[in-house]
Amino acid sequence: MVTVSLHTIEVYLYDNHGRVVRDFMAAYLPFYHNAPTQTLISFHHYTGNLHAFRSFDASGDKVLERCSGENETGQIVNLILDEDDLYNDPDEIIGSKEYNSCFSALKQKTLGKYIIPQ
C-alpha cells in the first residue's frame, strides 16, 4: 500500500485557446491537513504576447500581480508586485505604461463572487 501526503493542490480553468483564465490553490502544512495555511485565487489575462495575472488570498486581499512577455514595441516585460509593492506607495509602478499594458484589461479588481471556486 502506498501512502501519499498531499501538501498543495491547484485547479486550473482554461479558455477555448488552452490558456489559463483562473486558478485556485490551497497549501497545507505536512501532517496538518485540517485547514490550509494559504489559499490563492488568480485571474489571468492575455494581451498580445503579454500574460498578466492577479492573485487574491481567501480573505479577498490582493497579494500578487505578475506580468511577463513581450509588449507591442518588442520590449521584454517582467513585472512582479507582491503585497508590499501593492500597498506601500505603488503609484510609480501602477501609473506606468508598462503596468497599464499588462493590467488595464484584466477586469477582476476584487475577489468578488470567486471566494467560492467556480
Read off the pLDDT of residues 44-103 as tens digits, 9 standing for 90 and up.
999 999 999 999 998 899 999 999 999 888 999 999 999 888 887 667 777 788 888 999
**Torsional class of 89: left (φ above 0), alpha (ψ -120 to 50), beta (otherwise):** left
Grouping H, G, I as helix, E, B as strand and the rest as coil, residue 72 is coil
Q: Which domain holds residue 76?
A: 8-108
Q: What per-residue confidence (pLDDT) applies to 76?
A: 93
Cell, residue 5: 501526503
Q: What per-residue confidence (pLDDT) applies to 88?
A: 79
Is 118 a residue whose pLDDT tops 70? no
Output 6 or 39, whichever has higher pLDDT: 39
Kindly state whether residue 1 falls inside one of the protein's structural domains: no
Kindly state whether residue 51 falls inside one of the protein's structural domains: yes
Beta strands across the sheet bearing 8-14: 8-14, 20-27, 38-47, 49-57, 62-70, 76-82
Kindly state whether residue 88 falls inside one of the protein's structural domains: yes
Kindly state whether residue 118 falls inside one of the protein's structural domains: no
Kindly state whether residue 28 falls inside one of the protein's structural domains: yes
Q: What per-residue confidence (pLDDT) applies to 86?
A: 81
Kindly state whether residue 76 falls inside one of the protein's structural domains: yes
Task: Count how many domains the chain has.
Answer: 1
Kindly state whether residue 100 falls inside one of the protein's structural domains: yes
Q: What per-residue confidence (pLDDT) applies to 55?
A: 96
CA distance 110 to 104: 14
Kindly state whether residue 91 falls inside one of the protein's structural domains: yes
Residues 45-74 as b or e (16 or more Cβ within 10 Å = b): bbbeebbbbbbbeeeeebbbbbbebebeee
Read off the pLDDT of residues 10-27 as tens digits, 9 standing for 90 and up.
999 999 999 999 999 999
Containing 110, the helix (H) or strand (E) segment is: none
DSSP state string for 10-49:
EEEEE-TTS-EEEEEEEE-BTTBTTS-SEEEEEEEEEETE
Q: What per-residue confidence (pLDDT) applies to 89?
A: 66
